[in-house]
Amino acid sequence: MAQIGFIGLGIMGKPMARNLVKAGHSLVVCDLSKDRVAELVADGAKAAESASDAASRSDVIITMLPDGPDVEKCVLGPGGVLEGARAGSIVVDMSSISPVVAQKVGAACAARGVAFVDAPVSGGEPKAIDGTLAIMCGGAQQDFDRVLPILQKMGATVTLTGAIGAGNVTKLANQIMVACNIAAMGEALVLATRAGLDPEVVFNAVKGGLAGSTVLNAKAPMVISGNFQPGFRINLHQKDLRNALQAAEAMKVDLPFTSKAQEILTALVNDGKGNLDHSAMVTHIEKKAGVEVRKRTAAKAG
């Protein structure tokens, strides 16, 4: 098996790296948090002192970072991946970033004889833990084929969607659909609650019909129970929609529903709720309506 360097052990990266260790891969891990590195070392990984160190000891280097500037710094900056990466190695960036940044980083890698695949993911922390993420890739077919067996240990579906940058375009499309779905779910449940219905009963009534979705099944129970512990944070979704709107502007595409969803996310970030789960979009709608979407029996007990 290939020696893998894994950089970025956050909410998503840590369970993803763990699944690679469980699958028998040899990992060298790097993160700003020494505690997270220690957790992976306890699982059987080795610690790297820097991104450069991780890359120098690896055939495949995976990065899982918050945003494009973080990826640029990690891969292109001092002490970064390209300072240590050997010609013939491959960088797989699994962060959700601008397609333009993915293409920039890919070009810099190519200039050093290092292959590059952008491979953002969808599914949140639960699917990262289960190893059932949806992984959307951009890159050359031969590079995709090379890393496919590794990606399959972290995802249930792994799809090559086009050239470098295509993975992140696909991820932005995914994030648009998720955000608009959560917002619509929030409006529907607020309306039902205002009408005097138990939102849990409404959820159970509609989830088997055309309105049913993975988003509804994952997020409605969180809203109804008032549990906004992050599986995917509002501030990260706000970042993704910012990237989507910037890409849309460059391509002269109007995204009115995305723009409205971004207004809600930005308002929540400004209200100090950026670290809540993106299902907390409903709180913006609740506040305007003056009602809370909660299970009736729980409300009575309170």
Report, as residue numbers or ranges, the catalytic residues. 171
Burial of 125 (0-12, 13-18, 19+ CB in 10 A): middle
- Determine if residue 27 is left, alpha or beta; phi over 0 gives left, psi from -120 to 50 gives alpha, anything else beta: beta
Measured CA to CA, the distance from residue 245 to residue 239 in angstroms comes to 10
Neighbours of 264 (CB within 10 A): 23
